[in-house]
Amino acid sequence: MLDLKLLQDVSAPPSRGPANIENKNVGLQSQATRSEIVGSLPAAQISPPTNNPSTFSSPELSTTEPLDQERRFLFSRSEAHGLDRLITNLAGRLDAQLKASHVIRALVLLLLNAEAAIDRRAGDAVSVARPPNGDLRGIKKFERSIASIIAAGLRDAGPLRD
C-alpha cells in the first residue's frame, strides 16, 4: 500500500514548464483550504455531504477528453520502487506496455466509480486531522485511515459500472 507524503494539485501550464508553487505544503498559492472556504460561508450555504448516489457523476468510457490536467505527488523511495515493481509485474502479466499514468488513471476510475460509497464510509468514520508534513509517522497513520475508508468504499461499490 502506498502512503503519499505530500499531495499537491498543480495545474500544468500549456508549455508544460515547471509550475510556480510558492508554498509546497499547500499546493497552489491561490487555492484555499476547505476549512477556510467553509469558515467564510454563512451557515445556510454549507451543505453536508450527500449520500445520494445520483449526485455523483461517473466517468463515461465512451467520451474521450484530452489528458491536459497534471497532478504531482511526492513518494518515498520505497513507495516509488514498489509502484515501479507493481507496474512492471502488471505489464509483464498483461503482455502490454504500461506506464504509471495508465495505472493511476485506472485507480481514478475505480475511485470515481465508488465515490458515493466512499463518501458514505467517510461520513461514518471518526474525524481525522491531517498532521504536519514533518510528522512522518502521523502522516502514515493519517493515510492508513484514508486508505481504510477508500478500501471499504471500493468493496461496497462492487464492480465497475459501464
pLDDT digits (tens, 9 = 90+) for 72-130: 989 999 999 999 999 999 999 999 999 999 999 999 999 999 999 999 999 999 899 99
Contact 70, 10 (CB under 8 A): yes
Amino acid (one-letter) located at 12? A
H helix count then E strand count, the chain: 5, 2
pLDDT digits (tens, 9 = 90+) for 19-77: 333 333 333 333 344 444 334 443 333 344 444 544 555 555 547 889 999 999 899 99
Q: 69 CB contacts (<8 Å, ≥6 apart)?
A: 11, 12
On the question of pLDDT at 162 being above 90, the answer is no
pLDDT at 16: 37
On the question of pLDDT at 145 being above 60, the answer is yes
